[in-house]
Amino acid sequence: MRNLIITILLFGSFGVFGQRLLLEMPYDPTQTNTGPNRSHFGHMVISLGYNSLDQAAELEGRNFWNSANFNIGGRYIRKLGSRWAWSNDFLFNFFSFEFDADHLDPDDFGLAFDKINRYGRAVASFEYAPGIRFSIQKRRGNIIGRYLEVQGLGGLILQRNEYYRGENAQGKNANYTEVFSENSPFYYGGVLRLGLNRVSLYARYIANDIIRLDRGLILYGLELDLY
């Protein structure tokens, strides 16, 4: 899992430097003081959010980092008119979900622990999300100004881990990680985004089960759209 994260971050770094070399196809030669009216490819997108863990009684957000979602990738935007734009996101995602371990019985997991101190599940995936963006102000449908965006999403899960931190009778701690794949490797859902220039708030809904909860998930977060 650590090697996968390092690899994706390296690719993201190359994308930041390489995006200036990408071709921008003219859409409308008319220039305004709100930015170029053209299609954009090579945007780098980075976001950090909180997973809505109150959807399941057995879930508890011990702290932000153990119950967060992190996304990094690229974005293509094509203006469709004075207020509308077509957007496409290509993202690598990392989801972390921590459970309330106080009531868990180590025997239920077949572990040689007397007590489980931490228990959670983590997911790494690749996601594609096409959508339509509506700008409140005319000629600002690309990334400039205030906008509302609705996207559908489809994802491919690259890896799923289940992790434990347990304590034995002598008070010694031990960590244990296991890869699980009972659920489908694909997921789907939608995104609602409210943005201002290059900063936006989003709510991401995953409709099918990705971490053995028999339910969907809602993720909230803050996103930056970088050149």
How far is C-alpha 140 from the geometric centre of its chain's CA atoms?
Answer: 26
pLDDT above 90 (res 154)? yes
**81: which 2 tokens?**
């008119």
H-assigned helices in the chain: 2-18
Q: Is 161 exposed, middle or buried (0-12, 13-18, 19+ CB in 10 A)?
A: middle
How far is C-alpha 49 from the geometric centre of its chain's CA atoms?
Answer: 8
Q: What gap in Å lies between CA 9 and CA 16, rounded to an integer?
A: 11
Average pLDDT over residues 46-59: 60
Least confident window among 81-85, 156-160, 169-173, 185-189: 169-173
For residue 32, what is the DSSP state? B
What confidence score (pLDDT) does residue 30 get? 40
For residue 80, what is the DSSP state? -
Q: What gap in Å lies between CA 34 and CA 148, rounded to an integer?
A: 17
Q: What gap in Å lies between CA 87 and CA 147, rounded to an integer?
A: 12
At residue 45's C-alpha, the angle toward residues 203 and 81, to 5°, is: 80
Give me the architecture of the 2-22+40-226 domain, per CATH. Beta Barrel (2.40)
Domain boundaries, given as residue ranges, for the chain: 2-22+40-226
pLDDT over 90 percentage in the chain: 13
For residue 100, what is the DSSP state? -
CB 223 within 8 Å of CB 45: yes
Name the strand (E) or helix (H) holding 11. Answer: helix 2-18
